[in-house]
Amino acid sequence: MSLWKKAVSVGTSAALLASLLVTVAAPAALASTAVVSVGTVARGTTSTNAATFTFTENSVNAFAGAGTLIVTILDSAGGNTLSFVGTPVVTAPGSLGAVSATKSGNVLTISTTNQDPFNVEQITVSGLKIYANLAAFDGSSAATGAIRATLTGTLAGGVLSATATATGILQAVLPAGAATVDVNVTSACNFVTSGNTANFSDVSDARTITVGGGPTTTGVQPIAFAAGTSAHAVGSTVTQTVPNCSAGIASPGTVADVVVESTSGATGVVPGEQNQAAGSVTVTEQTAGYIAAGTLTFTLSPANVLFSASPSVSKTGNIGVGSTCNLSFDRTSCTVTVSAASTAVSSVTINGIMLDVGAGVAPGSAVTVAVTGSPAINVAIDSDKIATVGRVIVGVAAQPTIYINYNDQATGLISLTEQGAGFFTGGSGSNNTFGLCLTTGESFTRLPYAVVTSGDLKLLSGVVGGTSVIGTANGSSCVYWTVYTASTVASTIEIRGVDATGAVLPSGPLAGPRLSVPAGLQPGTTQARILVGLRVDVLANNASAFSSLVSFATRAFKSGVVVTALSQPTIPAGTTDSLAGNLTISETLNGQFKPGQSICVTILPRASNGVRTQDTFLKTATTNDLPVITTNSASGLLTSAVAVPGCGSQFYIDGPFSTIPFLPNPGASFRISVNQQSFGGTLGVITIANIHLITTADAAAGTVLVDVMGDVGGGAVQFESVVSNAKIGVKPAISIGAVSALGVNPTSGYSTKTPKVQAAGKYITWKFTGGAALAGQRVNVLKAVRINGAWGGPAYLKSAWADANGIVTVTMKASAGTVLNLRVQWPGAGNLGVSTSKALGAHWK
């Protein structure tokens, strides 16, 4: 994150600012160096004030020729977590030659090219602020406390003092007589035996040091003091002038702790409207307990933007806060009461923010929130924007239908109109980039153009400005443009597609970006996000960019797959084998079926009071009971045989890809796969026949519903239809007519005349007709034979199935002298009894 972006919050208290000014006004001096401190710099921010470093020769000709002075700053723990910010300004006499100063990170280097051997010379460097790292921004945080500064370089000896002050605190009572006492050393340099006398803060009592051991790892140095005139209490400060042991110079500032302010979900709001949703604001501690018991206040900007109502409050960690941010009387701020500081790092968020925006608020204004605390807190701003005031007017000229699984399709023209001149800015301005990101799965067939149709706005085209510029891709579904110069007259931009030659389309309702729509999408609106802001924000599609969703087309299937039940026979409850009607699945456009597509056929359960009960099952125990799949050979369409069970997790009872976890019952579903799609001009048709059903004894009367679903495998058109190819109920009696004729399935000659006389070894054909009620039903064929003038039977001959028209056909031949008659009996009439046809006789001679 840019150092300049992380500024100290304007919520910094007046008292804190005052303390900064006091610090700056009292520069610290160390021999021939002087430092004006920046005051306090909060972590994650750049100091408000600049430091000044002044270096004066200790004596004439102390600068022995050209050389360098190098200032290095570290945090209080010695970490490299600080950096200089700004441009150093050098003030120095001409005798030093061409003096320059450069900064790099935490190092300031001053270089001279000459010297004056007869006069004391002085160098002053000003204009540099200090930035302190914060882990949330930079990966590591500066330690709080005084900033350390050291001076090195070839000229350092000419300005550093030859002596320093050793400072420590007595750890035990020092009597008036000679004694050895531990001293906690608080300075960079230790006490020495060969130095000046030591003095005490409580009573003037200069004493020589006869033994001065080095400090232990705890910083405590045992010191043997000579006899003095007074005793000194524990905690008294002792000092001694000693040879300078370090390159330390005065501290240029102090690092302070901080909270981080961040926002999320920034919205667009409109001038003159109330109760408009905005983003949320979060304040996060970096150290547990930094936010003390008291209050946090959140203040809106700019003027005439007000809170509509009190936002709600949430938290992480164990900080004690209320549930509501209480509004001020003028509704420009709200305050959260902090009842207890945290013992674990915590955050406080105000959310559910609604805004009333005055009619006079300038379009393009950012609505920001400043956070202050009582007691005062430092605030590092990651982001503070919660809304943007109506930036552009987005228009869509038309909403045409575009088809799934088709490419290069026209969409509605999109226009962007500035609410005022200069809203879009050139160069590095805040609104220097705008973009368009598809959000619903489509893709640009070719990159669109942005065309300025009114006003004098210019867009970046290569290295110059233009009014018709092709977009730059940002990933697979986003495109953006950069502003070259701002407008002086409110301007309008149209986003247009291009034709197959690359020429931009002329303006018109359907001149929007040309889109390709993949096979896997569902019907619905085509949507895109309009983004306006800094280039970095637009490219990242983040909350700092103004955004608006637009819809500029509607997706649909051009033509769907049609599922038809060819008949709906009645089957009884408790049947162990009843034939359902055939099904057909038909294309309406070539290529809707694709190799790899799976088609699932499911008998739906009965749903009653939220309970799903499976009443009807497939009979698949033997090969002959499996459904038979055929296709129209002229189309070239081919499928697999039936797989039972076979419907995978992509098929749910409530529709393909449903989120309701009810898989098809394994005993009530089967699957087929497309092996080859149709080709040429003939559309593919799949016929499913020989569907045998079993029903439970308590199956409810009514239609049997069959769900037929196709997935998108191989890029096929997804489909789903529910049809009925059977119904459960009590079968009515059927009137079954009977006719016969000579020959094998003759086309004419049928009558009710009996018996029919036929030559030995020749065929007679019977047709028994029951109409639609008998369609798909199984009947028993009964035979009676006359032997020696007496009739036997009728006895069961075989079973047969009625075709889709309710006709049962039986063909027989016999030897000479055979006399018999045939009839059919349908055993499925329930309480009405069986239905039996009239018997028709035959005589072979």
Model confidence over 301-330: pLDDT tens digits?
A: 999 999 999 999 999 999 999 999 999 999
Instruction: Please state whether the peptide bond connecting residue 302 to the residue before it is cis, i.e. omega within 30 degrees of 0.
Output: yes
pLDDT, residue 425, reads 81
Cα dihedral 456/458/464/466 (nearest 10): -80
pLDDT, residue 568, reads 85
Asked if 581 contacts 566 with a C-beta cutoff of 8 angstroms, the reply is yes
Q: Which two tokens stand for residue 811?
A: 């063909």
Cα 404 from chain centroid (whole Å):
25
pLDDT at residue 660 tops 50: no
For residue 133, give the H/E element and its range.
none
Q: For 327, list phi and psi in degrees, rounded to 5.
A: -75, 145
Cα–Cα distance list, 265 to 306, 370, 543 (Å): 18, 17, 6
pLDDT, residue 23, reads 34
Query: Which residues, 6 or more positions from 609, have their beta carbon under 8 angstroms from its beta carbon?
Result: none
pLDDT, residue 620, reads 83
Q: Which residues of 188-204 are buried (b: 16+ CB within 10 A; e: fewer)?
A: bbbbbeebbebebeeee
pLDDT at residue 487 tops 70: yes
Asked if 667 contacts 601 with a C-beta cutoff of 8 angstroms, the reply is no
Instruction: Please state whether the peptide bond connecting residue 794 to the residue before it is cis, i.e. omega within 30 degrees of 0.
Output: yes
pLDDT, residue 659, reads 43
Pairing of β 51-56 and β 163-170? unpaired
Q: Which two tokens stand for residue 417?
A: 């109109």
- DSSP class of 504: B
Asked if 516 contacts 405 with a C-beta cutoff of 8 angstroms, the reply is no
What is the C-alpha to C-alpha distance for residues 83 and 107, in angstroms, rounded to an integer?
8
pLDDT, residue 828, reads 67
- DSSP class of 332: S
pLDDT at residue 36 tops 90: yes
Mean pLDDT of 751-771: 94
pLDDT-based confidence at residue 12 (cuts at 50, 70, 90): very low
Q: Which two tokens stand for residue 167?
A: 């400072």
- CB atoms under 10 Å from CB of 16, counted, come to 18
Closest CA to 252 of 69, 3, 41, 21: 41
Mean pLDDT of 446-468: 95
- Give the angle subtended at the CA of 57 by the CAs of 53 and 59, to the nearest 5°: 160
pLDDT, residue 649, reads 59
Residues in the chain: 845
Least confident range from 160-169, 400-409, 729-738: namely 729-738
pLDDT, residue 832, reads 47
pLDDT-based confidence at residue 3 (cuts at 50, 70, 90): very low
pLDDT-based confidence at residue 608 (cuts at 50, 70, 90): low
pLDDT digits (tens, 9 = 90+) for 73-123: 999 888 999 999 999 999 999 989 889 999 999 999 999 999 888 889 999
Q: How buried is residue 169: exposed, middle or buried, by Cβ count under 10 Å (0-12/13-18/19+)?
A: middle
What is the C-alpha to C-alpha distance for residues 530 and 550, in angstroms, rounded to an integer?
7
pLDDT at residue 20 tops 60: no
pLDDT at residue 589 tops 50: yes
Instruction: Identify the bridge partners of residue 8 per DSSP, sorted by sequence position.
Output: 380
Closest CA to 648 of 667, 631, 664, 625: 664
What is the C-alpha to C-alpha distance for residues 436 and 451, in angstroms, rounded to an integer?
14
What is the C-alpha to C-alpha distance for residues 693 and 515, in angstroms, rounded to an integer?
47
Mean pLDDT of 468-483: 94
pLDDT at residue 2 tops 80: no
pLDDT at residue 7 tops 50: no
Q: Which residue has the tokens 């003159």?
A: 272
What is the C-alpha to C-alpha distance for residues 776 and 579, in angstroms, rounded to an integer?
6
What is the C-alpha to C-alpha distance for residues 300 and 367, in angstroms, rounded to an integer?
7
Q: Looking at this protein, which amino acid is placed at residue 434?
A: F
pLDDT, residue 621, reads 74
Mean pLDDT of 652-664: 48
Query: Which residues, 6 or more positions from 642, have their beta carbon under 8 angstroms from its beta carbon?
Result: 626, 627, 629, 670, 671, 672
Asked if 228 contacts 347 with a C-beta cutoff of 8 angstroms, the reply is no
pLDDT digits (tens, 9 = 90+) for 334-387: 999 999 999 999 999 999 999 999 998 887 788 999 999 999 999 999 989 888
Q: Which two tokens stand for residue 119?
A: 């006069």
Which stretches of 97-185 are assigned E, i.e. beta strand?
100-104, 107-111, 122-132, 145-146, 148-152, 163-170, 179-185
User: If DSSP codes are grouped into helix, strand and coil, which group holds residue 831?
Assistant: helix
Mean pLDDT of 391-401: 87
Query: Which residues, 6 or more positions from 49, have their beta carbon under 8 angstroms from its beta carbon?
Result: 20, 24, 37, 38, 39, 129
- Give the angle subtended at the CA of 360 by the CAs of 359 and 365, to the nearest 5°: 105
Asked if 523 contacts 720 with a C-beta cutoff of 8 angstroms, the reply is no
pLDDT, residue 83, reads 97
Q: For 89, list phi and psi in degrees, rounded to 5.
A: -115, 120
Q: For 721, list phi and psi in degrees, rounded to 5.
A: -140, 145
pLDDT at residue 10 tops 60: no
What is the C-alpha to C-alpha distance for residues 758 and 763, in angstroms, rounded to an integer?
7
pLDDT digits (tens, 9 = 90+) for 196-246: 899 999 999 999 998 766 666 567 899 999 999 999 999 999 999 988 887
pLDDT at residue 6 tops 50: no
Least confident range from 17-31, 128-142, 441-455: namely 17-31
pLDDT, residue 26, reads 33
Which stretches of 178-287 are assigned E, i.e. beta strand?
179-185, 198-200, 209-212, 220-225, 237-243, 248-249, 254-256, 259-264, 267-269, 276-277, 280-285
pLDDT digits (tens, 9 = 90+) for 150-189: 899 999 888 888 788 889 999 999 999 999 999 998 887 8
What is the C-alpha to C-alpha distance for residues 652 and 659, in angstroms, rounded to an integer?
8
pLDDT-based confidence at residue 391 (cuts at 50, 70, 90): low
Q: For 635, list phi and psi in degrees, rounded to 5.
A: -80, -20
What is the C-alpha to C-alpha distance for residues 789 and 768, in angstroms, rounded to an integer?
27
Q: How buried is residue 358: exposed, middle or buried, by Cβ count under 10 Å (0-12/13-18/19+)?
A: middle
Query: Which residues, 6 or more positions from 541, have their beta carbon under 8 angstroms from its beta carbon?
Result: 437, 478, 529, 531, 547
pLDDT at residue 22 tops 50: no
Query: Considering the entire predicted model, what is its pTM?
Result: 0.50
The percentage of the chain sitting over the pLDDT mark of 70, rounded to a whole number, equals 91
User: If DSSP codes are grouped into helix, strand and coil, which group holds residue 536?
Assistant: helix
pLDDT, residue 218, reads 62
pLDDT digits (tens, 9 = 90+) for 792-815: 889 989 989 899 889 999 999 999
Q: Which residues of 217-227 are buried (b: 16+ CB within 10 A; e: fewer)?
A: eeebbebbbee
pLDDT digits (tens, 9 = 90+) for 429-455: 667 899 999 999 999 999 999 999 999
Mean pLDDT of 679-688: 90
pLDDT at residue 405 tops 70: yes
Q: Which two tokens stand for residue 266?
A: 């920034």
pLDDT-based confidence at residue 15 (cuts at 50, 70, 90): very low
Instruction: Identify the bridge partners of residue 56 per DSSP, sorted by sequence position.
Output: 122
pLDDT, residue 93, reads 92
